[in-house]
Chain A
Amino acid sequence: MKARIKFRKYGCMKFIGHLDIMRFFQKVMRRADIPIAFTGGFSPHMIMSFANPLGVGLTSDGEYFDIELTDKIDMELAVERMNQVSVEGIDIVNMVPISDDKKQTGMSIVAAADYLSSLKSGTFPEDWKERVALFMEQPAITVLKKSKKSEKEVDIKPMIYKFEVRDESVYMQVATGSVENLKPELVMQALCEFLSVDLETVSFAHHRLEVYANIGTDGKNQFVGLDQVSA
């Protein structure tokens, strides 16, 4: 049987990259005595897959990974045990049973994510909150996307589902996953251009709030948290 584990990542743990977080959880599984399944062969490894890697420097309230279990377990108790052997900055929120269907893995159903982005250093123009409303009224939001190999102009507007001011931060819901993936860094880069703020003078803290699957039909989006997808 399979299960999905939701966790929070905060504080200094934001400096631990995705691969090391995976290694961390492999050791959590052993310390908490979770009956996780292994692949076969001479160098067996745990059957564990992460829904969507979080970049270094980001914090999150909604990170997910799926595991395969060899025995039925009390999931609430397992969460307690995992928290006992975790560190400050990684809290296990819940563990839920999920479908065995390969198409239903966290990785394949991720469709969107919520982020809060706030200024860590530098300043915005005084009227920035009013102008944020106009940001989404642009016909297109083109940014220069730089990769290791190329640079290209992309319109990111279709990938932004929600965008608004929340207190001193910007809240956004954006496309996430293997089909379309928009990072909050790129959205804030576009916002800076829109506000005529020099990107070099500001830095942001990005916090992921939740990661969603899309259970809507007929091309309509209906997002639910990955732990709300019924088994």
Chain B
Amino acid sequence: MRKLALSDDILLKIEKPARYIGNEVNSVMKNKDEIDVRFAFVFPDVYEIGMSHLGIQILYDMLNRRDDVWCERVYSPWTDLDKIMREENIPLFALESQDAIKDFDFIGITIQYEMCYTNILQVLDLAQIPMFAKDRSEEHPIVIGGGPCTYNPEPLADFFDIFYIGEGETELYNLMDQYKEWKVSGKSRKEFLEMAAEIPGLYVPSFYDVAYKEDGTICAFTPNNAHAKPVIKKQIVMDVSDTYYPEKPVVPFIKATQDRVVLEIQRGCIRGCRFCQAGMLYRPTRERDVEVLKDYAYKMLKYTGHEEISLSSLSSSDYSKLQELVTFLIDEFKEKSINISLPSLRIDAFSLDVMSKVQDVRKSSLTFAPEAGSQRLRNVINKGLTEEIILEGAGQAFEGGWTRVKLYFMLGLPTETEEDMKSIAHLAEKIAKRYYEIPKDQRNGKCQIVASTSFFIPKPFTPFQWATMLNKEDYIEKANIVNHEMKAQLNHKSLKYNWHEADVTVLEGVFARGDRRVSKVLLEAYKLGCIYDSWGEHFRYDLWMQAFENTGVDVAFYNLRERDLDEILPWDFIDIGVSKEFLKREWKNALAEKVTPNCRMQCAGCGAMNFGGGVCFES
């Protein structure tokens, strides 16, 4: 029987003890005496969120296929346990062995969103590992980061030994092999990092120096170690059908956010929306073979016992064998009372037919993401969805019995005018109007159109990476304009408007495009008590502003400054395959309100073709 890291008294005192005991179905136990490399995989947020993440499940399975590696999981302790661990000096532990992770070989942290950065510091702190990479020695684990935020790792550069740029399936085994060699060699930590720096896609931040100009922008970014590459090339899996994917993902005891089998049908997106970072980072689009997916669906449902299966991708409707796959899932699993959930589907005759089979029409709602209210602005952001398509889809759905529509928009997009903002309300109104065109005796009472807006945040490696942001007050003003216009509509009683808080947006903006100097703010905010910033009830804007003031870092420099197209951006040393020239071209096309066709219609020459596969070589 395993001994738990926490006493009965603690576990019975805190919320949801199941977060900390491990032992879940399909979790992997090994004999630690037979292991060469112990790897703690961290998701720096609470268990229920972290357990819903596909990436960890893939890499957990992949690493544990090796007999010489034991990969275990770690999630952020919730605030109740956090407090107890500090008071009683309990070091952070891994769920499987319940051993302290400070004694592990690697701590791998997946970095999925900017607002989890303080939780990364929490994890290192609770683990009792020096927070700064420079303070770690041979006795400490190697701290390595991966995930979408590592495409601008600079705000976190001081805290990590290595960043892995790209998809983990490609070079992690190589890293494990090299580590084993180093471990028996008796060489220094620095020598290990030099070995790691030679591995494709691996970035060792301490091997680079950044020099700044007087105006604060970057003057030079240069390697200071012979082993460090001047450019780090993103690593991706080219054959996504023949790679690692878990047949037996771990099944949590408590309800996770994503409590279902997740079938990743493709990586990348052909659409090229100019605000979308994932759409650029994961190029080229690579589809998984449909027969492979069918086999996975069957096995994963069998080995997990989940009652729901969901397709995962950036745009499921663009998967070329979607009809075949969905028909298979319905035919095979509907009988067994398995729910089939289909997010990110374009609304058309096919998807409406499928949805009416797999869900209760009266209870479910349709989702559209026009992202901008007017056609002009949709052209700027290169979102192909038109008003005609939305009204056509909504109309068909209303006639099929649906009454609820959700609409997602962004405010603060480049070139946005007041008219663009008001168009959000007008579009919602037109949809409601379309509903009331159906004769009264043929419709189910009232309709409900819910429009939600978030504030646009420019992200690295998108055509909008040069865009300026706004002040908190300006964002709120925009939301007020939309809200006011909503209320002025004829069918306003059928319309609902939600908007996101603006203060998180400001911070996310700083960390998305920040450089090494913003790490000071991060550490200061953490010291002031900031943690779980993505959780409304814990987010402390006042403390964050205090941290900026204490460290003398200027929000305006990162968010409000006009960036020159020739400026050296903090993330320029990373090569994602999509060229900076293409991003500049797209930025200019955006300002000219010019649409760029998707990858299947016409190659836009983004540069991702250099990877030698995927959608670029489809026909």
Distance of A121 Cα from B253 Cα, bound (Å):
28
Pair A13/B305 contact, Cβ less than 8 Å: no
Q: Indicate whether A12 sits within 8 Å of B12 (C-beta atoms), given known contacts A26-B307, A27-B306, A31-B302.
A: no
CB pair B360–A20 under 8 Å, yes or no, is no
A49 interface hit (Cβ, 8 Å): no
Complex-state Cα separation, A73 to B359, whole angstroms:
32
B25 CB contacts on chain A under 8 angstroms: 27, 31, 85, 87
In the complex, are the beta carbons of A30 and B305 less than 8 A apart?
yes
Closest to A121 in B: B9
Tell me which residues across on chain A come within 8 A of B17, comparing CB atoms: 15, 56
CB closest chain-B residue, reference A15: B17
Q: A27-B305, A28-B305 are in contact. Are A87 and B2 (CB under 8 A)?
A: no
A88 on the B face (CB < 8 A): yes
Instruction: Return the contact of A20 from the options B12, B18, B336, B339 (Cβ within 8 A).
Output: B18
Docked complex Cα distance between A29 and B25 (Å) = 13
Closest to B363 in A: A42
In the docked arrangement, what's the CA distance between A203 and B8, Å? 10
**Complex: A197 Cα to B42 Cα, angstroms:** 45
Q: Is the CB of A87 within 8 A of B9?
A: no
Q: What CA separation (Å) do A16 and B253 show in the bound complex?
A: 7
Is B303 located at the chain interface by the 8 A CB criterion?
yes
In angstroms, Cα B303 to Cα A43, docked, is: 22
User: Known interface pairs A12-B2, A30-B307. Does A120 touch B8 (Cβ–Cβ under 8 Å)?
Assistant: yes
Per the CB 8 Å criterion, the residue count for chain B at the interface is 31
Q: Does B254 lie within 8 Å of A20, measured CB to CB?
A: yes
- CB pair B4–A56 under 8 Å, yes or no, is no
The reply to whether A85 and B23 contact each other, CB–CB distance below 8 Å, is no
B170 within 8 A of A: no
Task: Give the CA-CA distance A209 to B24 in the complex, in Å.
Answer: 25
Query: Is the contact region of chain B dominated by helix, strand, or loop, or is it mixed?
Result: loop
Q: Report whether over half of chain A's contact residues are helix, strand or loop; otherwise say mixed.
A: mixed
Interface residue B337 (Cβ < 8 Å from any Cβ of A):
yes
A73 to chain B, nearest CB (A): 16
* A57 x B305 contact (CB < 8 A): no
Tell me if A12 and B302 are in contact (CB < 8 A). Answer: no
Known: A15-B18, A27-B306, A38-B337. A20 touches B8 (CB 8 A): no
Nearest chain A CB to B233 CB, angstrom units = 42
Check A30–B21 contact: CB distance below 8 A: no
Q: Give the docked Cα–Cα distance between A20 and B339 (Å).
A: 19
A85 touches B305 (CB 8 A): yes
Task: Check B251 for interface membership: any CB of A closer than 8 A.
Answer: yes
Complex Cα spacing A44 to B2, Å:
37
**A12 x B4 contact (CB < 8 A):** yes
Contact of A13 among B23, B254, B303, B306 (CB under 8 A): B23
B11 at the interface (CB under 8 A from A): yes
Q: Closest B residue to A30 by CB, please name it.
A: B305
Q: Which chain A residues border B226 with CB–CB below 8 Å?
A: none
Q: How far is the CA of A24 from the CA of B306 in the complex (A)?
A: 10
Check B12–A57 contact: CB distance below 8 A. yes
For the complex, give the distance between the alpha carbons of A43 and B362 in Å.
13
Report B1-56 residues with CB < 8 Å from chain A CB.
Answer: 1-2, 4, 8-9, 11-12, 17-18, 21-25
Q: Is A220 an interface residue (CB 8 A)?
A: no
Alpha-carbon distance A44/B308, docked complex (angstroms)? 12
Q: Is A103 an interface residue (CB 8 A)?
A: no
Chain A residues within an 8 Å CB radius of B123: none
Of the candidates A23, A44, A120, the one whose C-beta lies within 8 Å of that of B337 is: A44
Q: Which of B18, B253, B255 has the most CB of A within 10 A?
A: B253
A20 contacts which chain B residues (CB < 8 A)? 18, 253-255
Of A12, A31, A56, A87, chain B has the most CB atoms within 10 Å of the CB of A12
B253 is contacted by which of A11, A24, A30, A44 (Cβ under 8 Å)?
A24
**B534: interface (CB < 8 Å):** no
Contact A23 B255 (CB under 8 A): yes
Please name the residue on chain A nearest to B14 by beta carbon: A15
Q: Which residues of B contact A27 (CB under 8 A)?
A: 25, 251, 304-307
For residue A42, which residues in chain B have a CB less than 8 angstroms away from its CB? 359-360, 363
* Cβ-based interface call for B301 (8 A): yes
| B470 smallest CB distance to A (angstroms) | 44
Tell me the minimal C-beta distance from A79 to chain B in angstroms: 17
| A contact residues vs B (CB 8 Å cutoff) | 11-13, 15-17, 20, 23-24, 26-31, 38, 42-44, 56-57, 85, 87-89, 120-121, 203, 205
5 A-B pairs within 8 Å (CB atoms) are namely A12-B22, A20-B18, A30-B301, A30-B306, A31-B305
The interface of chain B, by Cβ under 8 A from chain A, is 1-2, 4, 8-9, 11-12, 17-18, 21-25, 251, 253-255, 301-307, 336-337, 339, 359-360, 363
Extra contacts, 12 of them, besides A20-B255, A44-B337, A57-B12 (Cβ < 8 A), are A15-B18, A20-B254, A27-B25, A27-B304, A29-B305, A30-B305, A31-B303, A31-B305, A85-B305, A87-B24, A88-B23, A203-B8
- Closest 4 pairs between A and B when the two form their complex, measured CB to CB: A27-B305, A30-B305, A15-B17, A31-B305
